[in-house]
A and B are shown apart, each in its own frame.
Chain A
Amino acid sequence: MPFLKIDAVSKHFGSFTAVEGFDIDMVRGEFVSFLGPSGCGKTTTLRMVAGFETPTTGQIFINERDVTYSPPNQRNIGMVFQSYALFPNLTVADNIGFGLKVARRPQTEIRPRVEEMLRLIHMEQFARRYPYQLSGGQQQRVALARALARQPEVLLLDEPLSALDAKIRVELRNEIRAIQRELGITTIYVTHDQEEALSLSDRIVVMNAGRIEQIGSPFEIYNFPATPFVASFVGTLNVIHAVLRDPAQGIYEMDGQTFRAGCVKEGLTAGQEVKLAMRPEIISMDPEPGANTLSGEVESVVFLGSIVRTRVNLGANTLFFDTFSHPRLVLPKVGDTITVGFPPEACLLQA
């Protein structure tokens, strides 16, 4: 039996379907992200696990207990909100100790536990401050400590970093992951930020329009997207229109140039128009032997710091590719004709 089981859960608001047929089994200590655009149902699913929404159909089990209809205050979950939601009238220490106080634990237990939590988030010296005296990042760390103080069975994070600055975001996300590993707590993390999901998760659930598009490890999600939606939502993608010339060999033609691609869908015949997708980082200016090559005119060169993104005009299609920047890199100039290459298996899907 999995530790957290979401079994065929759907949620309808009137005639609107927010979540449909959501299924996942999570093992104890697993870190799973729900990733998708806003309105895809990821937050609604999280809120059903928390108990703030009741599923229309389906069941939710935590540690073999059916909690589908339990109110949130009887579920033993910890939740972190995008807006921090610290209690403004309580100090940092009292915020962290709130759950224990509500559970009527003795002061002799609450005090050491609060101190332990403060150490965990490296904020020992802030115990007597009020939330408004803290920065956003500090507030969210206190919110995390507050959620963890009661030793919940499941930790739920609802876009916890969305309201923070980019730099704090990366710092705090690493801290969240470190604390999660240390405590071994089963965690669901809702985000629309693919980088967060990819860097934090054991597994990612990619959602769109209320449905699961794919469940997999970050590596699988990025490199083997199951659907066009996953491919386009996670990472950046070239989409090109080509004509299939030889289904047996996987030969395609695009803007007068031919190339070979590893993916051929059953039932396609020669002469059919298809869409192919490619990651920008797999295309390079000095291709390995055996790779496909395409020539075109450089349309733009954008320096992005660690990478350089170059756009090549091939006629009706344009292709952009990323090169790691280093001091000896010779950048192509706009208007140059260059040849780029990519391995046949780089093409992701066709539709």
Chain B
Amino acid sequence: MKRSNFWSWVWFILGVIYFLTPLIATLNFSLRMKKGVLSLMAYEKVFQDPAFVKAFVFSAEMALFTILVSIILIVPTAYWVQLRLPRIRPLIDLITMLPFVIPAVVLVFGLIRTYGRPPLQLTASPFLLVMAYVVLGLPYMYRAVDNGLRAMDVRALTEAAQSLGASWFTIIVRIILPNLRSALLSGMFLTFAIVIGELTIASLLAWPALGPYMALLGQNRAYEPAALAIMSFALTWAAIGLIQLIGRGAPGQAGTQVGGAH
């Protein structure tokens, strides 16, 4: 008992060191832009660069559109598969996993070849970028929504709502979406995190997104990229913390799940 406890602590501490050392080193480095003192100068420099603000806003916008399109596409699909077509679930699972297998480079060249010439010339439109991001975020969003749907008795809730006179639209908006709240939030934050730092697709489609900006900065500057890395790290952790917080406080979703009485 004591022995295994000792070793688990050893591994834990080793893990913490392995994880934190580069982070602390980066943080330390990012604070040393001014010689001899610790300062936030690198951060100030980053924020003072109008290109950074533009890139960040652009990427954030793309992320929001991506989330919107993902939800509109995935929630009704996953709901219908769960309710009426459980037999095709393995197929849907496979399709939603494809973005893990297909590298972003392959995806973007496919997009350019398909949409780079008439009749569907879309490479100049941010719409194509959003669509590419929807594909990238698909595994995360679909997983989250699917897990959320499995946690409730979709069929009974649907039938109860139908017997009370509700239409399909009402059921999805009033019953399914509110009960997917925490699942959707985790899918949304993951999608946001992917899109905000995405490099390959944005740079090959030539959009001034945050990913290409960071890459460029990394090639030309010393301290600012470290500051950016720390900031994006903090942003990710804040997002994960938010998921935990909101997921816990959702009404009707704490503790026992309703409809699991079978």
Q: Chain A interface (Cβ within 8 Å of chain B)? A: 50-52, 71-79, 81-90, 98-99, 102-103, 130-132, 136, 139, 143, 146-147, 150, 156, 163
Contact = CB atoms under 8 A, between A and B. Distances in A.
Contacts of A131: 252, 258
Contacts of B256: 132
A88 B154 CA distance: 11
Contacts of B164: 73, 78, 98-99, 102, 146-147, 150
Contact of B153 (A50, A78, A83, A102): A83
B248 to A, nearest CB: 14
Contact of A132 (B162, B178, B258): B258
Residue among A88, A130, A143 with the most chain B CB within 10 A?
A88
Residue among A52, A78, A132 with the most chain B CB within 10 A?
A132
B36 interface: no
B247 to A, nearest CB: 14
Interface in B182-207: none
A89 B163 contact: no
B157 A85 contact: yes
Contacts of A102: 161, 164-166, 170, 174
B163 A78 contact: yes
Given A73-B163, A130-B252, 19 more contacts: A50-B163, A51-B162, A52-B159, A71-B162, A74-B165, A77-B163, A79-B159, A81-B159, A84-B258, A85-B153, A85-B157, A88-B252, A88-B253, A89-B175, A98-B161, A103-B165, A132-B252, A132-B253, A132-B255
Contacts of A146: 160, 164
B178 A89 contact: yes
Residue among B165, B256, B260, B262 with the most chain A CB within 10 A?
B165
Contact of B257 (A71, A85, A132, A150): A132
A72 B157 CA distance: 13
Contact of B261 (A75, A78, A82, A132): A82
Identify whether the interface residues of B are mostly helix, strand, loop, or mixed: loop
Interface of B: 152-153, 156-157, 159-167, 170, 174-175, 178-179, 181, 251-262
Nearest to B177: A89
A76 B162 CA distance: 10
Contacts of B159: 50, 52, 72, 79, 81, 85
B165 A73 contact: yes
A268 B156 CA distance: 52
Nearest to B262: A83
A146 B163 CA distance: 10
Nearest to B259: A83
Residue among A82, A89, A130, A163 with the most chain B CB within 10 A?
A89
Given A52-B159, A72-B159, A89-B251, A84 B259 contact: yes
Top 5 nearest A-B pairs (CB, nearest first) are A99-B164, A85-B156, A88-B252, A163-B261, A89-B178
Contact of A83 (B156, B161, B253, B255): B156
Contacts of B257: 88, 132
A19 B33 CA distance: 80
18 contacts: A72-B163, A73-B162, A73-B164, A73-B165, A79-B163, A83-B262, A85-B156, A85-B159, A87-B157, A88-B179, A88-B257, A89-B179, A98-B166, A102-B166, A102-B170, A130-B251, A131-B252, A146-B164
A150 B160 CA distance: 13
Contacts of B160: 79, 81, 85-87, 143, 146
Nearest to B256: A132
B75 to A, nearest CB: 15
Nearest to A75: B163
A25 to B, nearest CB: 23
Contacts of B167: 73
Contacts of A90: 252
Contacts of B162: 51-52, 71-73
B251 to A, nearest CB: 6
A78 B161 CA distance: 10
A76 B152 CA distance: 25
Contacts of B170: 102
A86 B261 contact: no
B43 to A, nearest CB: 41
Nearest to A130: B252
B162 to A, nearest CB: 4
B261 A136 contact: yes
B163 A88 contact: no
Contacts of B178: 89
Nearest to A72: B162
